[in-house]
Amino acid sequence: MKKFMLTTIAFLVLAVSAQAATLSLSIDSATVSTDDVITLDLVISGLDGTTILGGFDIDVAFDSGVLAFGDYTLSDWLGSIDDFEADDYSEGEYVDGLVNLCVISYLSASELLASQPDSFTLATLSFTAIDNGTAAFSIDHQDLSVEAVPVPSAIVLLGLGMLGLAGLARKDA
């Protein structure tokens, strides 16, 4: 009986922690002419209402022969940096053609769950075209702190089920 209970607990823990968050890049125009200013949105999706993003460390690669990095703006979905709910550890363009964005939230899991939609923009980056061509971007490195937040009713049901199994085991003994 103990083996069955341990197997059931392990299965439920693994099922609750499954995550399917996806990063994507959204650009307003891929073909650029000299002096054009373009913006790129870094979007996360797949947060299904029980999954939160608590932080990220992402490198976005771009063609530095066609574009010059301008600036970035972070969204407040992980908390306000001005209100000390999150910290910005981004390095900006730390190597030619590579921009680093890094944010850590100090909000609780329940606060993030209440405020984060299933899909949102993490950051908007701006670039200026220094030559005519095609603006090519890629996510070079990603480290996401994605966490499944257990639904309280599921925990209550799990607890009641465990009490029932314990009662059956005690009755059989």
Model confidence pLDDT, tens digit, residues 107-124: 999 899 999 999 999 999
List, for residues 52-97, the tens digit of each pLDDT value.
899 999 999 999 999 999 999 999 999 999 999 999 999 998 999 9
pLDDT range class, residue 104, cuts 50, 70, 90 = very high
Among 132, 123, 140, CA closest to 67: 132
Range name among 22-31, 76-85, 93-102 with the lowest pLDDT average: 22-31
Q: Which positions ≥6 away from 95 have C-beta within 8 Å? A: none
Among 117, 157, 111, CA closest to 165: 157
Print the SS3 string covering 63-103: CCCCEEEEEEEECCCCCCCCCCCEEECCCEEEECCEEEEEE
